[in-house]
Amino acid sequence: MERLDKLLAATGRWSRKEVKELVRQGRVQVRGRVVMRPEEKYEPADPIAVDGQTVSCGAFTYIMMNKPDGLLSATEDRNQKTVLDLLPEQYRKQGLFPVGRLDKDTLGLLLLTNDGELAHRMLAPKSHVDKVYLAHVDGKVDQRDVQAFARGLTLDDGLECMPAGLEPLEDASRCLVTLREGKFHQVKRMLAFCGKPVVRLERLSMGPLKLDPSLGPGQWRVLTQEEVRALSALMG
Ligand code: URA
């Protein structure tokens, strides 16, 4: 157990003095209840919110980002902007990194964390975490493509892909692709192999984590306690 003002100040977002002021103004809630005394003690894992926004006070930070076009999924790069550049200083100094990469021109759900064990488990091939992508293609996907995905493709360069889901949408120039692995440019390569090159790609979900529709491109938020719990449960 730790004092509330100490827990919140340890996130680096506010000084102890600022936390006391937030508490005094009734802007801090723990387990859904407004707390008026900064010296009250709680667990770092308790659901703490400031102005209704969940604040991660645990040892690790988990962030959901709607990755925009044009940024690298990396922690730093000498010449180009990375997704870390979208975060304020207090998060950049927490050692966050993206869990798996999206191509520079791919949009959508990116998880950033400093929890190396969770990241490792999510990315391990045997974890089989479903990743769902919305792809816009040049052409229309058909039942032959759906069956080829379901059987598992072997690409021209010999890359063997596990069976994957392919669901045509509307006029079939858009489709949902569900992968359980994450090889380099995999969605683009699989659809290109079927003669339907991808013109736009967006990740919608990773396991139980769904892209928050209220996040515009480039926006992010800390995961809720429920989302962290769902990820941890998935990983055992
Ligand atoms: N598959 C791709 O081709 N690109 C991505 O960014 C993610 C999956």
pLDDT per position as a tens digit, 31-80: 899 999 999 999 877 889 999 988 877 778 899 999 999 999 999 999 99
The answer, yes or no, to whether any atom of ligand 1 lies below 6 A from the CB of 151, is no
Domains 2-55 and 130-206 share a fold: no
The answer, yes or no, to whether any atom of ligand 1 lies below 6 A from the CB of 24, is no
**What residues contact 88, with CB distance under 8 A and at least 6 apart?**
none
Could you give the CA distance from residue 65 to residue 126 in angstroms, rounded to a whole number?
25
The answer, yes or no, to whether any atom of ligand 1 lies below 6 A from the CB of 200, is no
Q: Whose CA is nearest to atom 4 of ligand 1?
A: 185
Task: Render pLDDT for 75-114 as a digit per residue (tens, 0 to 9).
Answer: 999 999 999 999 998 788 788 999 999 999 999 999 999 8
CA of 104 to the centre of ligand 1 (A): 9
Confirm or reject CATH 3.50.50.60 for domain 130-206, answering yes or no.
no
Task: Render pLDDT for 178-206 as a digit per residue (tens, 0 to 9).
Answer: 999 989 999 999 999 999 999 999 999 99
For residue 115, what pLDDT is reported?
87
Domain ranges of the chain: 2-55, 62-125+208-235, 130-206
For residue 12, what pLDDT is reported?
67
Report the chain's mean pLDDT, rounded to a whole number. 92
Whether pLDDT at 236 is above 80: no
Catalytic residue numbers, as ranges = 103
The answer, yes or no, to whether any atom of ligand 1 lies below 6 A from the CB of 73, is no
Q: Whose CA is nearest to atom 2 of ligand 1?
A: 185
Our mutation pick for probing the ligand 1 site, out of 107, 129, 188, 191, counting the most ligand atoms within 8 A of Cβ, is 188
For residue 190, what pLDDT is reported?
98
Class of domain 62-125+208-235: alpha beta
CA of 49 to the centre of ligand 1 (A): 34
CA of 45 to the centre of ligand 1 (A): 33
The answer, yes or no, to whether any atom of ligand 1 lies below 6 A from the CB of 190, is no
Whether pLDDT at 121 is above 70: yes
CA of 83 to the centre of ligand 1 (A): 16
| Lowest mean pLDDT segment, chosen from 23-37, 42-56, 108-122, 144-158 | 42-56
Our mutation pick for probing the ligand 1 site, out of 185, 189, 194, 205, counting the most ligand atoms within 8 A of Cβ, is 185
What is the topology classification, in CATH, of domain 2-55? 3.10.290
* Atom number of ligand 1 nearest to Cα 189: 3
- Tell me the CA distances in angstroms from 65 to 13, 17, 34, 38, 84, one per residue in order: 19, 30, 28, 31, 10
Our mutation pick for probing the ligand 1 site, out of 134, 187, 191, counting the most ligand atoms within 8 A of Cβ, is 187
